[in-house]
């Protein structure tokens, strides 16, 4: 790639991210080619403006190796005072015919999944995300969830 093309790509990226006025936090973590059932993805949040309210989203990048229609997650929100809020969440990830939902033109899709709305933060918080997918009729969880490549957390300012 030439120096001119590199500069142009950097400029486009800077413009794209600077236009994202709602973003207060946006981070992804890789899980490799599969998300192990014991792997907990953690995000240490920066101290956010306590006078504002925020919406939280879980972002996922997945590919055609994801073979389930749904995704089950356990998400914990650890507050500075030691209190932890635990949510068990279910998201539809594919149409009944198996076509992955989400945005993207290739076999890699990006899904922005609603988590919480109208949250006020006071201090530093931590969010932990764990997959708990089960196959129909089986008690043990899926040990290695293929197709999920990255897990992210996004926090947006309310307008």
Q: Is residue 104 part of a domain?
A: yes
The DSSP bridge partners found for residue 128 are 42, 76
Whether the predicted model's global pTM rises above the 0.85 cut:
no
pLDDT, tens only, 9-65 = 554 555 455 557 889 999 999 999 899 999 999 999 999 999 999 999 999 999 999
In terms of residue numbers, what domain contains 56? 25-157
Residue 103 is assigned to a structural domain of this protein: yes
pLDDT in tens, 80-115: 999 999 999 999 998 888 888 888 888 888 999 999
Is residue 89 in some structural domain? yes
CA distances from 13 to 6, 10, 76, 85, 93 (A): 11, 5, 32, 36, 28
Q: Is residue 52 within 8 Å of residue 157, measured between CB atoms? A: yes
Direct distance between the N- and C-terminal alpha carbons of the chain, in angstroms, rounded to an integer: 40
Element (H, E) at 122: none
Is pLDDT at 6 greater than 60 in this prediction? no
Is 13 inside a domain boundary?
no
* pLDDT tens string 108-153: 889 999 999 999 999 999 999 999 998 777 778 789 999 999 999 9
User: What confidence tier does 4 reach under pLDDT thresholds 50, 70, 90?
Assistant: low
Structural domains counted in the chain: 1
Check residue 120 and report its DSSP letter: -
- Give yes or no for a contact between 63 and 108, defined as CB atoms under 8 angstroms apart: yes
């Amino acid at each position: 790639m030439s120096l001119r093309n590199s500069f142009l790509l950097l400029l486009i990226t800077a413009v794209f991210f600077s236009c994202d006025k709602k973003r207060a936090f946006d981070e992804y973590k890789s899980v490799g080619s599969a998300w192990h059932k014991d792997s907990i993805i953690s995000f240490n949040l920066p101290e956010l403006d306590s006078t504002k309210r925020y919406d939280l989203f879980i972002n996922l990048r997945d590919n055609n190796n994801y073979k389930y229609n749904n995704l089950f997650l356990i998400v914990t929100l650890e507050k500075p005072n030691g209190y932890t809020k635990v949510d068990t969440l279910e998201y539809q990830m594919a149409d009944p015919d198996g076509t992955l939902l989400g945005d993207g033109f290739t076999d890699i899709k990006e899904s922005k999944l609603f988590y919480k709305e109208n949250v006020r933060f006071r201090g530093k918080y931590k969010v932990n995300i764990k997959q708990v997918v089960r196959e129909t009729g089986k008690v043990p969880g899926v040990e290695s969830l293929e197709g999920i490549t990255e897990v992210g957390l996004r926090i947006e300012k309310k307008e």
